[in-house]
Amino acid sequence: MNMTGNTILITGGGSGIGLALAEEFARMDNQVIVATRSPEKLKAAEERGLATISADVSDSARIQALASRVILEFPQTNVVVHNAAVSRREDLVRGGNPNVQEETVATNLLGPMRLTTALMPHLLRQRSGAILIISSGLAFVPSAFVPTYSATKAALHSYAQSLRFQLRDTPIRVIEIPPPYVQTELGGRSQATDPNAMPLRDFISEVMEILKSDPHVEEVLVKRVLPHRYAAEHGRENYDAFFEKYHSRVM
């Protein structure tokens, strides 16, 4: 993708990976629009000089309103970053929580799919553009502690592949970014300072370097996510061993 001169919409861009990407893209001479449902995060983004839109991507009607407003107010929009996500621990043995499951699927999976559908006619009218999908290393080796989150990220990986194939003869690139465990507050405040998590600044720096160095990249894979990404490629026994080792370490 082109790294400058874009108009970029970032969902969930008020904190964590979304906000960090927004600031980096803005520094590279792109216009960035941050979409988030939190008034506090909208204000924080505005204080950083970013354009903002209140949005809740878990709500199909509000996604349509978001797309209409983006097209009206930012008609040059040619890049969408699907970053908004929720992650909740679930105890499936005790019955799970249907509300958590529905919110997670609506936000993490249906949100990107619905927004892509709503914006597709507009994106196809642009001279060039990109759809960036923030999935997760857990798309390839799930965490049993966040099963619905992991499942939605696996589905996003599948969706990205299909979308990329269908857009192969258009000027729209589809780029998947699967983060490893990163120091953000996605899983709670303690995650932001967890020494086992990759520092957010390091993650963003590596992502941007990959995007700059390879204009045709399809998956942006930082080094810390490679064990998850390729765990299944070394055979079932190695995958099972990795799965057990990963959960033993987390526990």
Distance, CA of 251 to CA of 242 (rounded, Å): 14
Which amino acid, 224? R
Amino acid 234 reads H
Q: Identify the pLDDT of residue 96.
A: 81
- CA pair distance 18, 21, nearest whole angstrom: 5
Which of 149, 159, 181, 246 is labelled catalytic? 149
Average pLDDT, the chain: 95
Q: Is the pLDDT of residue 251 over 80?
A: no
Q: How confident is the model at residue 95 (pLDDT cuts 50, 70, 90)?
A: confident
User: What does the pLDDT read at residue 211?
Assistant: 98
CB 136 within 8 A of CB 197: no
Q: Which domains, and CATH codes, for the chain?
A: 7-250 (3.40.50.720)
Residue 230 annotated as catalytic:
no
User: pLDDT tens digits for 217-243?
Assistant: 999 999 999 999 999 998 999 999 999
Confidence tier at 171 by pLDDT (50, 70, 90) = very high
229 three-class SS: helix
Asked if 220 and 173 count as a contact pair (C-beta separation under 8 A), the reply is no
- pLDDT on residue 234: 86
Confidence band of 29 (pLDDT split at 50, 70, 90): very high
Q: How far lies 240's CA from each of 137, 171, 205, 210, 232, in Å?
A: 16, 40, 32, 30, 9
**In angstroms, rounded to a whole number, what is the distance separating the alpha carbons of residues 124 and 141?**
34
Confidence (pLDDT) at 114: 98
Question: What's the pLDDT band for 3 if we cut at 50, 70, 90?
Answer: very high
Query: Residue 1: its pLDDT value, please?
Result: 87
Give me the count of residues in the chain.
251
Which tokens is 113 given?
């799919």
Query: Residue 60 — very low, low, confident or very high, per pLDDT cuts 50/70/90?
Result: very high
pLDDT score at 63 = 96
pLDDT bracket for residue 74 (50, 70, 90): very high
Region 37-58: what's the mean pLDDT? 93
User: What residue has token string 């033993």?
Assistant: 248
Q: In what order do the strands lie in the sheet with 31-36?
A: 51-54, 31-36, 7-11, 79-82, 129-134, 172-177
> What pLDDT is stored for residue 64 in this prediction?
95
Query: Which pTM does this prediction carry?
Result: 0.95
pLDDT of residue 250: 75
Query: What percentage of the chain reaches a pLDDT higher than 70?
Result: 100
On the question of pLDDT at 144 being above 90, the answer is yes
